[in-house]
């Protein structure tokens, strides 16, 4: 059985999903990627994180967004 890479524990980071064995949240990884940081830059800043952990965070977010929930997107006024 493959080890679960994304875990959630109410005693770690208030229960937010994190990469197993770290306090690095899925949210933080996604924020850094959205801001344009490369995987290499993220790995350099967080030595305990692995490339597999980053990919697991992205996959977790993808699966979470597949839920049958509609997320309203606010209209941006220019």
CA angle (10 as vertex; 4, 13 as ends), nearest 5: 85
More confidently predicted of 24 and 77: 24
Q: How far is Cα 75 from Cα 23, in angstroms, rounded to an integer?
A: 34
Q: Which residues pair with 30 in a beta bridge?
A: none
The yes/no answer on whether domain 6-65 falls in CATH 1.20.1090.10 is no
| Interval 23-73: pLDDT, tens | 999 999 999 999 999 999 999 999 999 999 999 999 999 988 887 666 677
CB 8 within 8 A of CB 18: yes
pTM value? Answer: 0.81
Collect all residues with Cβ–Cβ distance below 8 Å to 59 and sequence separation of at least 6. none
Report domain extents, the chain.
6-65
Nearest partner of 13 among 1, 25, 31, judged by Cα: 25
- pLDDT confidence tier of residue 78, bands split at 50, 70 and 90: low
- pLDDT confidence tier of residue 1, bands split at 50, 70 and 90: very low
């Amino acid at each position: 059985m493959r080890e679960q890479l994304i875990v959630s524990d109410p005693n770690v980071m208030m229960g937010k999903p994190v990469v197993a064995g770290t306090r690095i949240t899925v949210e933080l990884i996604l924020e850094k990627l959205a801001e344009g940081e490369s995987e290499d830059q993220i790995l350099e800043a967080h030595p305990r994180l692995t490339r597999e952990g980053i990919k697991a965070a992205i996959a977790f977010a993808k699966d979470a967004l597949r839920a049958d929930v509609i997320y309203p997107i606010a209209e941006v006024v220019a």
